Structure 1
Amino acid sequence: MNKDYPVPAGYLERETEVKKSRFIARVAPVNSRNEVKDWLERAHQDHPDARHICWAYQIGRPGSAAEAAMNDDGEPSGTAGKPILSVIQHKDMGDVLVMVIRYFGGIKLGAGGLVRAYAGAAESVLSAVDRVVQRSMDAATVTMSFSDEQPLRHWCETNDAVLESIEYGSTVTARVLVPADRGEQFGGFCDAQKLDYRFDR
């Protein structure tokens, strides 16, 4: 089964107008909730006077995303975040955040109009953004001694794995993102090094 999936190649912004309301849609690649937070903070800094900054994201492979969330930011429930997320899912894209910044133009759009406007804004930016293929990664937690850290780092560097975080206590605990097609090799490495590991399934 091919676990690779498309992700946005980078940041992009598109603006649409509906009945004098401006909808500024932004798409960005994200791999964690912290990255989502950073992008949202940037949007609030760029547009401090915007009436709403609504968003949705999904992290991981489309269809089995590790994490997804949405926010209506004061719009009527279900009229902003949900349509944005629906467009993301329809586009079959992973590791993606879409924010839609709205400047109210004085004419109320109604619930149906809002759904169409937010979905349309998300569609405009997702259709325009370039895609790259992301290798599907499986997360693993490894517990080891201090002397095992360097061999683990070396294995990650030579096998396209990502050492996402590391915590030091009486032992060392690392969170590693392993390419889905290298899971067996990773297990073999950990067994050979006598490392305690488990995949987060």
Structure 2
Amino acid sequence: MKEDTYKTIKKPSEEILFKEKGSKFFGYAFPVLTEDDVKEKLELLKKKHHSARHFCYAYQIGIEKTQYRANDDGEPNNSAGLPIYGQIQSFGVTNILVVSVRYFGGTKLDVGGLISAYKTSAQLALEASEILVKTIDVNYQLKFNYDLMNVVQRIIKEKNLEIVSQTLEMDCEYVISVRKNDAKAIFTIFDSLYKLTIKKC
């Protein structure tokens, strides 16, 4: 993968079910951007599976600076959250929450059995997900007079840039999205235009 791309999932995965010695492990993967997203998804699962014993999960948020958390939710230390997080790392995805909901089946699993079951549940949830490769983008604000409109539009079209927002009042203000690897070159092109100011958002 190029250094200005990352992998995430497009939409929540299908629910998967993995059984081990009578215990049921329901696996899920969700796209998330904030810790509030994580809380919201966990609350939805707790309503859906109100009689389940454990809601073990791991998430990773961020692209260039990432933060993560792994939660065993009452299982023995490091027997659930970390194996789930290991699968997030193995698949190389971010901005993601993976949850394994366990219904106890009457037969206790040893720590090794738990690690294996939670790892498999997470792996199956990720395999059931649609993984996307996205570019890391930089946003620039452009300010210019109307007489530069054609020039600016031509550059945007030629370089295949995305206009995130535009405000057309006394003068023109665009916010454009540029792929990180191209950001310096694009900045230089716009910066060289007379009577146009460009700055990073």
CA distance in 2: counterparts of 1:90 and 1:68, whole angstroms:
14
SS for the counterpart of 1:133 is: strand
Is the contact between residue 56 and residue 70 of structure 1 (CA under 8 Å) also seen in structure 2? yes
What's the CA shift for 1:18? 0.4
Q: Contact 1:14 / 1:26 at 8 angstroms: preserved in 2?
A: yes
Percentage identity across paired residues of the two chains: 33
Q: Aligned partners of 1:115, 1:34: CA distance in 2, in Å?
A: 27
Matched, 1:57 2:59: yes
Alpha-carbon displacement from aligned partner over 1:47-102 (angstroms, at most 9, x marks no partner):
111100010011234xx552111111111110000000001101111211100000
The residue that corresponds to 1:100 in the other structure is 100
Q: Provide closer, same or farther for how the CA distance between residues 113 and 66 of structure 1 changes in structure 2, counting only shifts above 3 A.
A: same
Give the total of aligned pairs.
165
Aligned-partner Cα distance in 2 for 1:8–1:110? 32
1:152 aligns to what? none
TM alignment of 1:121-136, pairs within 5 A: 121-136=121-136
Aligned-partner SS, 1:109:
coil
Please tell me whether the aligned partners of residues 187 and 198 of structure 2 are also in contact (alpha carbons under 8 angstroms). no
Aligned to 1:80: 80
Q: Are residues 107 and 135 of structure 1, via their aligned partners in 2, closer, same or farther at CA, if it must alter by over 3 Å?
A: same
In structure 2, the partner of 1:23 is 25
1:132 is paired with a residue of what secondary structure?
strand
Q: Which residue of 1 aligns with 2:111?
A: 111
C-alpha deviations, 1:10-39, integer Å up to 9, x for none?
111111100000000000111111111111
Gap change, CA 1:44 and 1:161, over 3 Å in 2 = farther
Counterparts of 2:61 and 2:54 in 1: how far apart (Å)?
23
Offset, 1:2? 2.9
Aligned with 2:79: secondary structure? coil
Structure 1 gap ranges (5+) = 143-157, 163-176
Kept in 2: contact 1:178–1:186 (CA 8 A): no
Contact kept? 1:22, 1:105, Cα under 8 Å: yes
- For the structure 1 residues 2 and 83, does the alpha-carbon distance in structure 2 shift closer, same or farther, using more than 3 Å as the test? same
Task: Give the match's secondary structure for 1:99.
Answer: strand
1:132 partner letter: L
* TM-score of the two chains, using structure 1 as the length reference: 0.70
Corresponding residue of 1:166: none
**Residue 150 (structure 2) aligns with:** none
| Structure showing greater Rg | 2
